[in-house]
Amino acid sequence: MTQPALGRPTPPFRADHVGSLLRPAALREARDRHARGLIDAAELRAAEDAAVVEAVRAQEEIGLRSATDGEFRRASWHMDFIYQLGGISRAQDEIQVTFHNERGDISFTPAALQVTGRIGLEHTIFADAFSFLRDTVATATPKLTIPSPSMVHYRGGQAAIDRSVYPDPAEFWSDLSAAYAEQIRRLGELGCAYLQLDDTSLAYLNDPRQRAMLQERGENSTDLHKRYISQINAALAGRPEGMRVTTHLCRGNFRSSWVAEGGYDFVAEELFGTLGVDGFFLEFDDARSGGFAPLRFVPPGKQVVLGLVTTKRGALESKDDLKRRIDEASRYVPLEQLCLAPQCGFSSTLEGNRLSHDEQFAKLRLIVETAAEVWG
């Protein structure tokens, strides 16, 4: 492989990671004690703070140039954010989602949402969490992850939107993007220079079964990805100068299981060609993620963070295999536009994936070492 210029001064970095980390035992215990009323919110916050400090130091010590708070203050990667948007509330109904793994299927019943008022931003979501992370990092760039605007719609669709509030769907989309745009502006004021929009919808839409499900509920599944891309672009139109924004596309991540399958072919041309982000974190850890050919649509100036290291199993990948796959991807995207990361977070929900803390950090260390050998 031809060696590009050494390092990258801005995110995404050659060795990076998606965001969530396995919750430490002490933090899990503190959350349990708080739920049972045995400790108050301040005591839980102190436990979270201590866990974040330790996680940040661990990320920096292995050589990562970005650091997250592991999403330690959340129960869920997306709903903890979405429920804080004005106009959105928990629905009484529950949604049954089937996840798949090598052993069989498992069911997950996430809380549903409903849009009962005009969507707006009532406060800066995750402001305190980001500020603590910003003040904790020593050498790394603090990275914040939030769900993309698409996630507000994909779960329930038009049926979850009160028609008396939004008789015209265009107003819903306009308000949603405006709320996100204001959130992003405020994050910039707090010093956030690395923001990631996590999105399962644009990955799910590659799966024909997901498109059929959406069609059955009355959505135009053929063009829905174009709508989602348009809304994200509207949210990013006025982003603060100097803020680097990436997106992570995932096919589901719960207790080492997934929901959707299929390569990026269905959305690739519009996604890579028109989504206004600086980089794409993409799953490529096994056959269900498809091949690298869709990357031919990635234009110059965009980074692709190859998710070649799985977070769903503890077994460590070999450097030679990772280098071979990076070489394969470079047939479609120049090597200087590629980076390396895990395929997803390690703990998108409190439960976490089926691997140990030591295995988690061994994988992150492998990514740092491999990236150094490939890019210098």
- Residues 305, 341 contacting (CB under 8 angstroms): yes
- Residues 280, 305 contacting (CB under 8 angstroms): yes
- Residues 72, 21 contacting (CB under 8 angstroms): yes
Nearest-10 Cα torsion for 297, 259, 324, 335: 30
Maximum CA pair distance of the chain? Answer: 59
Tens-binned pLDDT, residue by residue, of the chain (376 aa): 333 334 789 999 999 999 999 999 999 999 999 999 999 999 999 999 999 999 999 999 999 999 999 999 998 888 899 999 999 998 866 555 555 565 655 454 556 889 999 999 999 999 999 999 999 999 999 999 999 999 999 877 888 899 999 999 999 999 999 999 999 999 999 999 999 999 988 988 988 888 888 888 888 899 999 999 999 999 999 999 999 999 999 886 555 555 667 789 999 999 999 999 999 999 998 877 889 999 999 999 999 999 999 998 889 999 999 999 999 999 999 999 999 999 999 987 777 678 999 999 999 999 999 999 999 8
* The predicted structure's pLDDT at residue 129: 98
What whole-number distance in Å separates Cα of residue 36 and Cα of residue 364?
A: 34
| End-to-end CA gap in the chain | 12
Number of residues that this document lists for the chain: 376
Q: What does each C-alpha distance from 23 to 2, 30, 217, 343 come to in angstroms?
A: 39, 11, 36, 18
Encoded tokens for 141: 């760039």
Phi-psi region for residue 242, left (φ > 0), alpha (ψ -120 to 50) or beta?
left
* The predicted structure's pLDDT at residue 2: 36
What whole-number distance in Å separates Cα of residue 219 and Cα of residue 103?
A: 32
Q: Which of 234, 126, 114, 140 is nearest to 180 (CA)?
A: 234
* The predicted structure's pLDDT at residue 5: 35
